[in-house]
Amino acid sequence: MVVKVRSDGLEYLLNLYLDRPLIAFSYRATVLIKRDEWIEVKIPLDTFEATSFGRPMKEQGLLVQRRSTPLA
């Protein structure tokens, strides 16, 4: 995944949500971006971790294993 972002230099979380009803579920990746610069950040899909209510959900597997599921 590639996103164009500008930051204040802090660490941020990028969440991806599936197009199906799961309560408080997303795939999350940590992104650290240089301060005050617009940059394109490449985030490999295998770095996104399944989470629910902010906690890791290892049994859900990696995002790349669910490629056929649309993302919202």
Two structure tokens written together for 59: 């049994």
Q: What's the token pair of residue 46?
A: 């295998």
- pLDDT higher at 20 or 57: 57
Domain ranges across the chain: 2-66
Which residue would you say has higher pLDDT here, 64 or 9? 9
User: In this predicted model, what pLDDT tens digit does every residue of 34-68 receive, in sequence order?
Assistant: 888 898 989 888 888 988 888 888 766 666 555 54
The whole-model pTM stands at 0.67
Beta bridge partners of 31: 12
